[in-house]
Amino acid sequence: MSQIEKISGVKVFGGWQNQYQHESSSLNCSMKFSVYLPPAYEQQQPVGVLYWLSGLTCTDENFVTKAGAQRIASELGIILVIPDTSPRGDEVPNDDAYDLGQGAGFYLNATQPPWDKHYHMYDYIVNELPSLIKTNFNVRDKAAIAGHSMGGHGALVIGLANQMHYTSVSAFAPIVNPCECDWGKKAFSHYLGDDQSAWQQYDACHLMQQQQGILTIPMLVDQGLADNFYESQKLTKPLEEMCKQVGYPAQFAYHEGYDHSYFFISSFIEQHLRFHHRYLTA
């Protein structure tokens, strides 16, 4: 499990943007992931890590090339770890639609065939990938986690359910109530079956309600108001309403004119990295 192979590397802002591959035991396939190592990494002191989870149709390369995160990560001394969004390969089940199958893993553990052999992205993100990172890189014990859209859903669910592992969680335009939106209903019914009670463990709104009183992880969420999916997929707002209901002091910000794209992410990624740095270094 600890064997990784470096595929590529390029120097940027004094650090190194690398890509690796390995054989995943959680996903039963070969996986790629990207890591940005800031200049501080060469000082041989444990460095804080931010895991970034991307959205539908993305690979590990979208955030690397479009978010512009390396400049601030270099300044703050944060390692960025960017996994793929699903298992990949000829043997991995797929679908012609963009919102199911490869590129659409939804960061859950599938229980229904044919998806159940490979689609265990929850275990991969929570257990296998952090183990690889800790084995192969000099990092601190706790990490931060963030994501966009489907990846925002993954970051929120994983952060809320595993608070002992993460210092903080943030999201851009996240799917916060997948049990009640079209993207989530389609994915969950295929991956998890028709028993909707099994869906709730992967729904940030349900987790927030279930864990009220024991939530301590700091949370930041940004949402563009020109996002085509804001209303149709019920992004962000239901979670803000649930936070108010349970008295959880998460930070929400809404931005006029911004859409669902990486132009939005790149506009506010600095604030998210500084937010996480505050807790990674506390």
Residue 188 predicted with pLDDT over 50: yes
Active site residues: 149, 227, 260
State the pLDDT at residue 282.
87
State the pLDDT at residue 195.
96
- Provide the whole-model pTM: 0.97
Residue 1 predicted with pLDDT over 60: no
State the pLDDT at residue 2.
63
State the pLDDT at residue 45.
85
Residue 187 predicted with pLDDT over 90: yes
3-state DSSP call for residue 6? strand
Q: Which two tokens stand for residue 60?
A: 């590990």
Per-residue DSSP letter, 32: E
Query: Residue 128's domain is classified under what CATH number?
Result: 3.40.50.1820
Radius of gyration of the chain (CA): 17
Query: Rounded CA gap, 208 and 235, in Å?
Result: 15
Residue 213 predicted with pLDDT over 90: no
Q: Residue 171 — very low, low, confident or very high, per pLDDT cuts 50/70/90?
A: very high
Q: What is the mean pLDDT of residues 139-144?
A: 93
Residues 204, 92, 182: CA angle, nearest 5 degrees: 35
Instruction: Domain of residue 132: give its range.
Output: 5-280
If one counts the domains in the chain, the total is 1
Beta strands in the chain (DSSP E): 5-12, 15-24, 29-37, 47-53, 78-83, 139-148, 166-172, 219-224, 251-255
Query: pLDDT per residue over 60-107, tens digit each?
Result: 999 999 999 999 999 999 999 999 999 999 999 999 999 999 999 999
Provide the percentage of residues in the chain whose pLDDT is more than 70. Answer: 99
Q: Are 170 and 78 in contact (CB under 8 A)?
A: no
pLDDT, the chain, mean: 96
Query: pLDDT per residue over 114-123, tens digit each?
Result: 999 999 999 9
Query: pLDDT per residue over 31-43, tens digit each?
Result: 999 999 999 999 8
